[in-house]
Amino acid sequence: MNDVVVDSNVPIVANDRDGDYAPGCAIRCIERLATVRDKERVVLDFDDAILAEYKNRLRSCGQPGPGDAFLNHILRHLGDGVRTRLVALTKHVDRLYDDFPVDESLLKFDKSDRKFVAAAIVTSAPVLNAVDSDWLDHEESLSKCGVTVEFVCDRSASQHRKKKSK
């Protein structure tokens, strides 16, 4: 089973509640999350930084959307080693995580997304992104550091949609 790191923007877009996205983007996110649930293992960290972001941005009760269903999937399988994989991410004062690359071209990379990069480096798993422009802006630098970014939606969705503050 392949590991995958899922940026929170993918289930958020799947819910189709928070923003204006390119046509078909929400559907592609729904389909990609279904593949994740059925065939891949989601990487999370022992300190719950990734899970905390999911919980902050998604709902685990009430009328769930497809992104919320992803959170419920994570919660049901948390720590089982089959559908989720927990990894240690060592904290660092300046970069936030020891595993975040020491690379001048990544100095402006969004601090709230550095946990996803660190998890990807620790596991060699790709990061799924839907609409966050930061991943597109830094794709080349991340690639040089060994991080693969999978753009679930057209790259133009990331170019034209700037991230909302978290």
Do the domain assignments include residue 73?
yes
Q: At what angle do helices 25-39 and 66-77 cross, to 10 degrees?
A: 20
Do the domain assignments include residue 165?
no
How far apart are the C-alpha atoms of 78 and 86, rounded to whole Å?
Answer: 8
Residue 42: the pLDDT is 98
- Of 127, 117, 131, 133, the C-alpha closest to 150 is 127
User: Which letter does DSSP use for residue 139 in this model?
Assistant: H
Residue 158: the pLDDT is 60
How far apart are the C-alpha atoms of 4 and 108, rounded to whole Å?
Answer: 24
Do the domain assignments include residue 122?
yes
Place of tokens 């004062």: 93
How far apart are the C-alpha atoms of 115 and 59, rounded to whole Å?
Answer: 21
Number of domains in the chain: 1
Residues in contact with 157: Cβ distance below 8 Å, sequence separation at least 6, in sequence order: 21, 22, 25, 130, 131, 151
Residue range(s) defining the domain that contains residue 28: 2-160
Do the domain assignments include residue 34?
yes
The residues with which 57 forms a beta bridge, in sequence order, are none
The tokens of 148 are what? Answer: 């693969």
User: Which letter does DSSP use for residue 113 in this model?
Assistant: G
Q: What is the pLDDT along the chain (166 residues), one digit of tens a residue?
A: 899 999 999 999 999 876 778 879 999 999 999 999 999 999 999 999 999 999 999 998 867 899 999 999 999 999 999 999 999 999 887 768 999 999 999 999 999 999 999 999 999 999 999 999 999 999 999 999 999 999 999 876 665 444 443 3
CATH of the domain at 83: 3.40.50.1010
**What is the chain's alpha carbon radius of gyration, rounded to the nearest angstrom?**
15
- Of 164, 161, 139, 163, the C-alpha closest to 151 is 139
Do the domain assignments include residue 166?
no
Residue 162: the pLDDT is 42
Q: Are 35 and 47 in contact (CB under 8 A)?
A: no
pTM: 0.91
Do the domain assignments include residue 87?
yes
